[in-house]
Chain A
Amino acid sequence: MGVSRKLTVIPERCSGCKLCEVVCSINRFGANNPKKSCIRVMVIYPHPVIRMPIICKQCKEPKCRENCPTDAIVIKEGYCEIDEAKCVSCQQCVMSCPFGAIFLHSDLNTPFKCNLCEGDPQCVKSCPKNALLFIPEHTLGQAHRMASVLKYTKMKEVEYVEKGERKILRYADIEGGKEE
């Protein structure tokens, strides 16, 4: 088993183009139908302005599994899946997912959810804004950690020109740090 990876979203980057939805439906069901995708872009406007894809977080203690009366939700390598043979389509999982990441469609007999394309999520590749990432589990939160560091050290910026190109160098402002 390789590195455990997580599908994660940076909502600030999402433009709402729904390419992820189209690609998902083609890959998963062989249909060009965003309503059959395991990822859904939510758009709220104008107050507040948010575009955010909803994805299955592949919880390690999945509520959907806990509430499934027929044990139809099975854990695979890094993702869980609905076993269609066991599923009775009672929709308990749909209602119990805290993120609303399990979906229904009138053409389909059972609910459906993200299976990370069995380890190679196509939505990530399709995203033209790089708002979807598939990264090693332990690196999750790294951006926030780095932001905290930069904030603490009161980083200053200085602009300079190198080979005719404008560049920015950042450094920790020692004086500023002493004031606290």
Chain B
Amino acid sequence: MKVKGGYFKKLLFVDLDKREVRVVPLSDAFCLQYIGGRGIGIKLMWDNLNDYAGPFDHHNLVVIAPGPLTGLYLPSSSKTSFISISPATGIYGDSSIGGSFGVELRQAGYDALAIKGRAEKLSYLWIDDDEVTIVANEHMQGKGCLETEGIIKHELKDDHVSIASIGVAGENLVRFACITADWGRNAGRTGIGAVLGSKNIKAIAVRGSHDLPVFDLPRLKELSDTAFAKLRGHKYFSFWQQQGLMSVIDYANEAGVMPTHNFRDGQFDRAEKINGYEMLAKYKIGDTACFACPMACGNICLVKEGKYSGTVIEGPEYETACMFGSNVGVDNFSCILKANALCDDLGIDTISTGNLIGVLIEAQEMGLISEEDVGGMRLKWGDEETIIQLVHDIAYRNGIGDVLADGSLELIKRMPQLSPIISQVKGLEQSAYDGRAAITMALGFATSDIGAHHARAWPLAKELEMGKEWGLEEKVELVIYHQTVRPLFDMLGVCRLPWIELGFDENTYAEFYSAVTGVAFSLDELLEKSNDLYNLTRAINIKLGVSKKDDYPPERCFSTPLSSGPHAGKVLNRDEYESLLALYYHKRGWDENGQPDMKRISEMFNDTL
């Protein structure tokens, strides 16, 4: 099949060891098999496994890949994936951002960028269409993400350049350091910021001028005009523009699945002080949207009075408000904003940071660690000052912050007594949904290829809707469907929120893909490719040491019942989970130990670039 649009068929490969930049042509077959975004990243990780010798080794690869739909006239076509072997988990990792970084990278004429090796000095990569340079910038050492972005824009004398950068945390190899682009869009999870830090890459600046290749632009225009009209006509459209993801606070709290006091509970008694209405009443000063997104879920907030006065931030969204709110017992919205702003500027993931701070507070409360263990700090729920201090300490690796900066796996090694109270899977700290209220959510977290993150599967709402009389088979199928369709969005380079939140039909994306590439794939065909690639991430993870023991939700899900809310008293049943997992393996075609057919996978993905 011939690809007639959607791709430049070019991969930009930067070898920092040799200071060499080359453009690798991508074949039509390659584009169609791996689709783009995360798909290309997975393949490159697989091919690089022979060279791989640890996340911070110079042979580790970082792939930055938008998709064939990124930057086009269709709803929320802004997504770019960052892929690497994660320093947080030691296995396959990825994280995606919106904004316009990926659009610019595509306009520069590339489908993906791969970075290998290590620069001698702290540098940034400057991609100006065909001209690619590695620019030494040691004077930016220790600078925050926002400042770095400002300095580079100033140096390049162009405000329209798109920049992705790492902060102090990335430089200090904090294992959950993120990458910040376009003033506040974060590829937060799995610590790829630290991998860039290990490569001495402070930032990537891109400017592109090319037309994006589209096979049938009038057809795309027609499809998209209808799509935009549909979204704008949705009854929750304006509500979304107002609150964005902050509306999830009320949903999650009422459903009793909002992590509170280190995931001990699923309901926060002061939720109304950290919800979307509180934000609208006192803090929100503007909307912000990613490229081509009508939903504008980004909130710009300003703290107008009090000790955090002057804090301005793109955010928070639900995860951050929960992890720095209920999960650590904070009911002051301005403190959440301050913590969010700090995390963005220092370049650390708000989810992992809020999760680990919660662990520490509970550990001290339970007497699992003493004040001496944490440098004389007295930790209390809702103690704003120490929480803010810990954010600093993690990014700068001071005191106990140095231990937390290595993530939960290292924390368990250093303080094994904390193991039962840490909510993590495969070393990735759990994001802000409880796993006890809905067993499918627990299965989703436990079998996600990057660890406990909701990006791969969010079956929670569906399960709660369906109630009790719901067979194991249907539950497993729902999780697998989520794990197949959701990554497809990251492969196409579009945001999944129009689908999740405004009920946008996923079949439309197959129509978009066909109009753009001239290759008539149905949604099922695309899903099949996504599923193949899920097996490939599993194969990567198996080679990196993952086995059945890593496919379990956090211990807390089995041992500590929720104490309030509609699911009070609920814990997961171990036997039920075991049968669910066994069925999951079976349905995926993996053996009883969760191992896919490695020989078949090797054959299937043995094509060379």
Contacts and interface: CB of A to CB of B under 8 A. Distances in A.
Interface stretch (B28-36, B286-294, B476-484): B286-294
Contact of A26 (B71, B73, B288): B73
A32 B295 CA distance: 21
A128 B73 contact: no
A32 B214 contact: yes
A92 to B, nearest CB: 21
A51 B228 contact: no
Given A46-B312, A129-B241, A36 B211 contact: yes
Nearest to B286: A49
A33 B292 CA distance: 12
Determine which residue in A43, A46, A107 has the highest number of CB atoms from chain B within 10 A of its CB, and name it: A46
A22 interface: yes
B289 A22 contact: no
Contact of A129 (B71, B287, B298): B287
Interface in A51-78: 51
A51 B107 CA distance: 22
A126 B72 CA distance: 14
A91 interface: no
A139 to B, nearest CB: 24
Interface string A117-133: 00000000010110000
Given A51-B288, A126-B228, A32 B71 contact: yes
B600 to A, nearest CB: 39
Q: Tell me the dominant secondary structure on chain A's binding face.
A: loop
Given A12-B286, A46-B183, A49-B286, A19 B72 contact: no
Contacts of B73: 19, 22-23, 26, 32
B228 A128 contact: yes
A51 B570 CA distance: 47
Contacts of A170: none
Contacts of B71: 32, 34
A17 B211 contact: no
A26 B294 contact: no
What is the interface residue range for chain A against chain B? 20 to 34
B312 A49 contact: yes
A51 B71 CA distance: 19
Nearest to A48: B312
Nearest to A105: B209
A46 B184 CA distance: 10
A25 to B, nearest CB: 8
Interface string A34-52: 1110000011111101010
B214 A128 contact: no
B146 interface: yes
Contact of B211 (A33, A126, A128): A33
A31 to B, nearest CB: 4
A132 to B, nearest CB: 13
A19 B287 contact: no
B535 to A, nearest CB: 33
Give me the 3 closest cross-chain CB pairs, A-B, nearest first. A128-B294, A17-B289, A15-B289
Interface of B: 71-73, 100, 103, 107, 146, 159, 183-184, 208-212, 214, 217, 220-221, 228, 232, 241, 285-296, 298, 300, 302, 312-314
14 contacts: A15-B286, A15-B287, A17-B289, A17-B290, A17-B291, A17-B296, A31-B211, A32-B217, A35-B107, A45-B314, A47-B312, A126-B228, A128-B232, A128-B295
Given A16-B288, A31-B211, A106-B209, 20 more contacts: A12-B286, A16-B289, A17-B293, A17-B296, A18-B291, A19-B73, A22-B73, A26-B221, A30-B217, A32-B71, A32-B217, A34-B103, A46-B312, A46-B313, A49-B312, A107-B211, A126-B228, A128-B295, A129-B241, A129-B296
